[in-house]
Amino acid sequence: MNPFTLIKSLIPLQYTFSYIFFVFGWVSFFYSGLFSYSLILFAFVFLPILELLTPPGFKFFQDLDTKKDSLIYDFVLYFTVLLQIVSLIFFLFVINYYDLSTYELVGKVLAMGTLCGHSINIAHELGHRSNKFEQFLAKILLLTSLYMHFFIEHNKGHHVRVGTHSDPATARKGEWLYLFFVRSIIFQYISAWKIEFKRRKMKKKYFFSLNNEMIQFTLIQLFLIFTIFYINIYSGIMFLFSAFFGIILLETINYVEHYGLVRNLKSNGRHQALSEFHSWNSDFIVGRLLLHQLTLHSDHHLKALKKYQKLENISNAPKHPSGYPGMMLLAFFPPLWFFSMDPLVDKYRIKSNQKNN
């Protein structure tokens, strides 16, 4: 076989690097002491440092053949569902049967929460697909974080209202991350109910029905919670903590993805058209591989159905000074975040206005 042909056939496998999250997660579950924090140290210490040392724009396989469809790209996502289910069972077993100190318990809960956050990202990709099977897999992943309403609100709410004050998932300039958590989590949930209510009304169907997806999601999530609590109350409590941490990671990503970027109202009362200037991007190879190109967020919002391997780096789109892991960490220190980001927000707002005038 031609060496270049062999390389091209292996291109989709580059995204299996994301499985390293599960490897470190399982190390965190199985081993004690400091090893309980293996995944946390990898994701929020090692990765931010690695991205600082890796220049943006560094290429691996991405540009060789990513325009071509391959089932392997999809199977990489599908296998994540199995890994997440195994991880949740492993986590619950450890919590139930291991004699853990508080220090170790916290590390393992945070590890499971990090896997939940990672799986929400995969659910985000699958949830944009039109295939019912892939949407089903997205819902399974969201179930492990008790955040199934994201499937509705993100696709039918966030992608419509992004960059406006009516979008709970768009962080405003000067808004602290901790206040954003409250606003985003509460109002995205309310928004999902409103969207489903409107959908049922348009179809002239009863709102209180098992065909109402929000009612379905609520019942499914309650069933999972009650099942885990029935097996072991203590494990159930730890599961709730890990799911909440996964949600916090998702909302932190939401925060860094759109912070301060707005679509202004025009004289006709409508918002500016969505453009590449309404999402933050980073072209760091590590984030692109491990987060399945989530960091090329402008292209995703311009073409939401575009598969992750086909997303492109738009050269003039807003750029973070570091990769997503590092920016997520920075967001937890609001004064440093504002110092780093607010001048960039002003810069790209001007560019956005120039493009729309």
Give me the phi and psi of 271, to 5 degrees please: -80, 155
Tens digits of per-residue pLDDT, 308-327? 999 999 989 999 999 999 99
CA 44 to chain centre: 15
Amino acid 353 reads N
β-sheet bridge partners, residue 319: 281
Tens digits of per-residue pLDDT, 131-160? 999 999 999 999 999 999 999 999 999 999
Tens digits of per-residue pLDDT, 71-106? 899 999 999 999 999 999 999 999 999 999 999 999
State pTM to two decimals.
0.92
Q: What is the pLDDT of residue 181?
A: 98
Structure tokens at 258: 């759109």
Evaluate whether 122 touches 77 at the Cβ level (below 8 Å). Answer: yes
- Of the two residues 19 and 272, the one the predictor is more confident about is 19
The residues, any chain, with a CB within 8 Å of residue 138's CB and separated by 6 or more, are 122, 123, 124, 125, 126, 127, 129, 151
Please name the residue that has the structure tokens 């949830």.
127
The residues, any chain, with a CB within 8 Å of residue 231's CB and separated by 6 or more, are 92, 96
Confidence of residue 4 (pLDDT cuts 50, 70, 90): very low
Q: What is the pLDDT of residue 15?
A: 92
